[in-house]
Structure 1
Amino acid sequence: MTEATPTGSSTRAAPSPRAIDPGGLLPAAGIGVLVAALLIALSSGYGYHRDELYFLEAARHPAIGYVDQGPLTPLLALLGGDSLIVLRVAPALLAGLVVLVTGLIARDLGAARGAQVFAAGCMAVSAILLQTGHLLSTTTVDLLVWALVTWFTVRALSAGGPRWLLVGLAAGVGLQNKMLVAFLLAALLVGVLVAGPRRVLRDPWLWGAGLLALAIWSPFLVWQAWHGWPMLALSRSIAAGASTSSEPWWLVVPFQAVLVGPLLIPVWVAGLVALWRRYPLLPVAAAVLAVLFTATGGKPYYLAGLFPLLLAAGAGPVLGWARTRLRRVLLGVAVALTALVNVVLMLPVVPVTALADTPITAMVGDVGETVGWPEFARTVSAVVPPGGVVVAANYGEAGALRRFAPDVPVLSGHNAFADWGAPPAGAVPAVVVGYPEARVREWFPDCTVAATIDNGVGLDNQEQGRPVWRCGPPREGWAALWPQLRRVG
């Protein structure tokens, strides 16, 4: 049975979403529990990521908004206190939920239990899930939010009515984390307009869901408006390649090949095809997002939230293909190899003393950013004289000093750190770290190298080998220098 759309095309009538059977959830839930348990077991490996150190400091300055994010991730950091293991329990649990939701999406797309388990398993071994499940980041939350929004959308498309409110609720909560889910909602709307079913636009519950999301989002929007929309400056900086995780614009789409794993590309490609046959608006939305993030210089992982949906949709067709023993073996090998490679690359299983001798940090830069922060803090704090203040170039350096040398006065103009304290007019001498020598000598006429950063394991990361400068008063005074130090990026 088909439903005619206003454009004359036709869309298969979607089956009613199944009632959730707790017994049917056990396999996917079990995989989610195993993933969470693995992540918690490895949570203390290496150390804090620079973003986690930033979130810890943001948690000490609660607000309804920050220049670069909403309040949700700092609130999760607040739960961690001073324990790295506790800090990483939340991302581990969120990753487990993403695995479960992937199985639920497969179920509501009509997949049999075996395909539900396969979908959950593919998500469980994906590079993006293991990486974001190990470290607390805004992407950790965003991955679950996109999974929920797409799952609730699938359920609402078939039944409509109050089910749309769950889409609005999930999106609203996600918008308190970061703004990317707003682009997902816009892309879904474009998908409906282009591919249908346009009947959903007549459902008042759909628009009620939009109002609900806007209402939840509004405090952060007001904060951004009041502070001159710093998120726009952040977006421009990311598009210019200033972020450590930025990639060239032309890599946004090709990079998707590694976010799950190259061997599992056929699964999510099959998902795109299957969705085109049942819910064409969803592949249209994916295409809109890919074009948008490519054109605006977004980061490749901005599209990662679509993988729970795509893997869920592709699991059934791929298992249908794997009817012979040889094909089943090939599929099992693909999943196993993907798991092995991604665990080694994304999780701290290689001893830190051997890490510099592997290509891991060259392939996954974030791994290197979890090594050496206590040593960094000890080196810098050891050269701060009485009455001195540390000026750090980025929030990771400043956050490390706040975490591991809390008695040392530290300032940074990077992102929200700039709002957490400006230098006192008489702060001399200054210890400066993280800036190029030319900038340091431009700002401070009297500087000498007091120490050099060494993480102790020979690992080449952003801080390794950088000089620590001890300087006199700034050339033009702190009042003139501070605006030059402030930056969003």
Structure 2
Amino acid sequence: MDIRGNASVPAPTGLPRAALGPVLGLAGAVAALQLALAGRYGFHRDELYFLSAGRHLAWGYVDQPPLTPLLARASTAVFGGSPTGMRVVAALLCAATVVLIALAARELGAHRAGQVLAAAGTAVSAMVLAVGHMLSTASFDLFAWAGIGVLLLRLLRTGERRWWVAVGAAVGVALLNKDLVLLLAAAVLPAIALAGPREVLRGRWLPLGAAVALLVAAPNLYWQARHGWPQLTVASGISDQDGTTNRLTFVPMQLVYLSPVLIPIWLAGLRRLRSDPEVRWARPIGYGYLALCVLVLVLGGKPYYALPPLLLVLAAGCEPVARRLRSPVRPVAALLVAALVNCLITLPVLPERQLAAVSWIYPESAEQVGWPELTSAVATGWEQIPPGDRARAVVFATDYGEAGALALYGPRLGLPAPYSGHMSFTDWGPPPDSATGPVLLVRPAPYPEVERAFTGCRQVALVDNGRGVPNEEQHAPVLLCSGPVAPWSVLWPRLRHSY
């Protein structure tokens, strides 16, 4: 088979011995580090949303399928309702991803040193550390895509088309977490048709794998269809709001998410997938990654959407780089530098008061600070409502993070359940029309469309996280309004927003 799948260069069938000891040691070390640091800051805004979504389990939500909220509920049920308890699953997924990328390197012919280099490179990359610290849809996505990548490599290497069933099952599970995996399919299948081995596309196994994927994902797809495919609206909103920024930052953020130290290995992987006859069968992985980058750029998606296949390209470069190494001193030193820098940026290493030093690079670190203080500020505003009026009063938040924080921390301060028009919080409302006010409104920035829905608003409190951490909620005003301008059932469609 030539480079376009027309001449015959059989893929190797044997595999080097797995470097289980050092790879599992690295994975365990990453998990231990993540768990040791998991509770140093508080919940992230997305985690607060997942906690609320986990209390409203469904086959779908306006912005995501059901898996991550289910994982949030399960993790907190088993390990406790603290940030550490919620993040056990994320840490385990992070460790599993390290192992999977090492297995991908093995599929590509890497021996012990190459497999260990793949595991170490994955373990120190900024994105892997970030998604392993807090539970997000990206936590499972990274793991799922890495697993799909290993299965695809096994399929391409052996030519055994029955592997399409396993690939389909993995894609179906990934679809229960996020629809982005469809972009991977849209990139890889044409790459196989272009670069070969085309034989794996023939016969009944690929359609059977697709049917398995649809069957596994069917409950969420049915939910989305019944609700008018709201995830498409959310995706369009993200593209409209952040598409230009995402496109301008795509290339530099790819390198930052990976780590500049690992760029030579990544480039070696691209070169190897393009020109090394020994891994010609794996060429669709390289082409697929490049095609995925084009798709993300066209759609205005977030740069990290293309990271999982980037790790597979990194895995391809580990064996040739490991062969050229004459001494482990320099690569170990470089990996340690990458680990230190990326841990400092993505993990809760710094004291909270010093977060401004890194939050301009990685804003998510600052979004883990100040939620109890926000709730206290809202409680201060609640105390200004006469007790006789509280039965008709409503607490309304413009953002799902604020609403999630109020749902978690509010009851101990005597606050009622919050309402919000953001994402799936909209589906868990509206307040009853008998709740004629007052309305306690918290919003991190001016939001005229929301404010016009209420009358007689005045500021009664100001959020201060007490550590000077600049984030979206710092110095957010809490407004006390006389009431809504119309019954909630009439206002609610106006208050819905998904970005």
Q: Structure 1 residues 187-196 or 157-166, which shifts more?
A: 157-166
Tell me the amino acid that sits aligned with residue 422 of structure 2.
Answer: H
Contact 1:253–1:290 (CA<8 Å) still a contact in 2? Answer: no
Is the counterpart of residue 292 in structure 1 residue 295 in structure 2?
Answer: yes
Q: Indicate how the Cα distance of structure 1 residues 8 and 62 shifts in structure 2: closer, same or farther if over 3 A, else same.
A: closer
The residue number in structure 2 matching 1:18 is 15
SS in 1 for 2:65: coil
Percent identical among aligned pairs is 43
Q: How does 1:457-472 map to 2 (within 5 A)?
A: 457-472=467-482
| Aligned counterpart, 2:190 | 190
SS of 1:468's equivalent in the other structure is strand
Q: Note the C-alpha offset of 1:187.
A: 1.2
Number of the residue aligned with 1:414: 422
- Matched residue, 2:401: 396
**1:444: which partner in 2?**
454
State the superposition RMSD in angstroms: 1.9
Deviation at 1:421, TM superposition (A): 1.4
Counterpart position of 1:432? 441
8 Å CA contact 2:39–2:82 kept in 1: the answer is no
Q: State how many pairs are aligned.
A: 477
Q: What secondary structure sits across from 1:88 in the alignment? A: helix
For the structure 1 residues 8 and 340, does the alpha-carbon distance in structure 2 shift closer, same or farther, using more than 3 Å as the test? closer
Question: What CA distance in whole angstroms lies between the structure 2 residues aligned with 1:310 and 1:163?
Answer: 21
Contact 1:195 1:280 in 2 (8 A): yes
Relative to structure 1, is the Cα distance of residues 353 and 188 closer, same or farther in structure 2, using a 3 angstrom cutoff?
same
Q: What is the rounded CA distance, in whole Å, between the counterparts of 2:2 and 2:332 in structure 1? A: 41
1:100 aligns with 2:109: no
Q: Which residue of 1 aligns with 2:241?
A: 241
TM-score under structure 2 length normalisation: 0.92
TM-score normalised to the size of structure 1? 0.93
Which runs of 5 or more residues in structure 2 are unaligned?
none
Q: Structure 1 residues 17 and 234, CA, compared in 2 at 3 Å: closer, same or farther?
A: farther
What's the counterpart of residue 110 of structure 1? 109
Letter in 2 for 1:70: P
Corresponding residue to 1:65 among 60, 63, 82: 60
Q: Cα offset for 1:211? A: 1.2
Q: SS of the residue aligned with 1:455?
A: coil
Quote the Cα distance in structure 2 between the aligned partners of 1:54 and 1:166.
Answer: 32
Q: Which moved more, 1:382-391 or 1:37-46?
A: 382-391
After TM superposition, list the pairs within 5 Å mapping 1:381-392 onto structure 2. Answer: 381-384=379-382, 385=385, 386-387=390-391, 388-392=393-397
Structure-2 separation of matches of 1:75 and 1:404: 21
1:77 to 67, 72, 76: 72
Structure 1 pair 155–475 and aligned structure 2 pair: CA distance change class (3 A): same
User: Residue 240 of structure 1 aligns to a residue in which SS?
Assistant: helix
Aligned 1:145-294 pairs, distance under 5 A: 145-159=144-158, 160-241=160-241, 247-276=245-274, 277=276, 278=280, 279-294=282-297
Q: State how far apart, in whole Å, the 2-side matches of 1:284 and 1:412 are.
A: 43
Counterpart mapping for 1:333-412 below 5 A: 333-356=333-356, 358=357, 360-384=358-382, 385=385, 386-387=390-391, 388-406=393-411, 407-412=415-420
Report how far residue 330 of structure 1 moved: 3.4
Distance 2:143 2:40 in 1: 24
Conserved? CA contact 1:11–1:196, under 8 Å:
no
Aligned to 2:495: 485
Structure 2: distance between partners of 1:405 and 1:20? 55
* 1:91 partner letter: A
Task: Confirm or deny: 8 A CA contact 2:246 2:303 kept in the other structure.
Answer: no
State the Cα distance separating 1:151 from its structure 2 match: 0.5
Unpaired stretches in structure 1, ≥5 consecutive residues: none
Change (3 A) 1:66 1:11: farther
Residue by residue, what CA displacement relative to the aligned partner does 1:35-91 show, whole Å, maximum 9, x if unpaired? 011101111011000000000011101111111111111111012142221110000
- In the aligned structure 2, how far is the partner of 1:440 from the partner of 1:197? 55
- Could you tell me whether the CA contact under 8 Å between 2:104 and 2:312 is conserved in 1? yes
Residues 368/436 of structure 1: CA separation in 2 closer, same or farther (3 Å cut) = same
TM-superposition CA deviations, 1:261-301 (whole Å, max 9, x none) = 11211111211222223222111111111111001100000
Give 2:119's aligned amino acid. Answer: A
CA distance, structure 2, for counterparts of residue 426 and residue 201 of structure 1 = 60
